């Protein structure tokens, strides 16, 4: 099974500087071009539109929701995780558009 998953969290003072986009973009390239993976999954907490927009900008697609999957340490409540995915062929298509 050639897939990987992951996520990112940035302190608010470091957001809106492109760090998350740069990190995800570099990771995507490494996963597909070096490791030869066929798919990457990510997640974000429902309502985190910044994370969702960043992932969609990089070619990810919304795929589903894992209900009350994680305990949010900020609120001490279980929260839904929205799942996004990126296939290798989608990454290649996205890469061709930005070059």
**pLDDT (tens digit, 9 = 90+) per residue, 26-59?**
999 999 999 999 999 998 988 889 899 999 999 9
d(CA 41, CA 88): 11
Please state, as a whole number, how many other Cβ atoms lie within 10 Å of the Cβ of residue 28: 23
Query: Residue 11 domain-assigned?
Result: no
Query: Residue 39 domain-assigned?
Result: yes
Query: Residue 3 domain-assigned?
Result: no
Q: What percentage of the chain carries pLDDT values higher than 70? A: 91
d(CA 18, CA 28): 15
Tell me if the pTM is above 0.85: no
pLDDT given for residue 15 in this prediction: 85
Query: Residue 50 domain-assigned?
Result: yes
Q: Which domain holds residue 66?
A: 16-98
Please state the domain count of the chain: 1
Report the CATH number at residue 68: 3.40.630.30
Query: Residue 4 domain-assigned?
Result: no
pLDDT given for residue 79 in this prediction: 94
Which pair of structure tokens corresponds to residue 42? 């990510």
Query: Residue 44 domain-assigned?
Result: yes
> What does pLDDT average to over the chain?
88
Cβ 39 vs Cβ 87: under 8 Å:
yes
Cβ 38 vs Cβ 2: under 8 Å:
yes
For residue 40, list its beta bridge partners: 4, 86
């Amino acid at each position: 099974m050639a897939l990987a998953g992951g996520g990112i969290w940035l302190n608010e003072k470091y957001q809106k500087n492109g760090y998350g986009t740069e990190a995800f973009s570099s990771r995507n390239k490494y996963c597909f071009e070096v490791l030869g993976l066929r798919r990457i999954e990510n997640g974000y907490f429902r309502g985190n539109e910044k994370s969702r927009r960043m992932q969609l900008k990089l070619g990810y697609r919304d795929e589903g929701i894992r209900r009350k999957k994680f305990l949010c340490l900020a609120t001490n409540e279980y929260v839904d995780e929205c799942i996004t995915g990126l296939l290798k062929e989608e990454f290649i298509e996205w890469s061709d558009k930005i070059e």
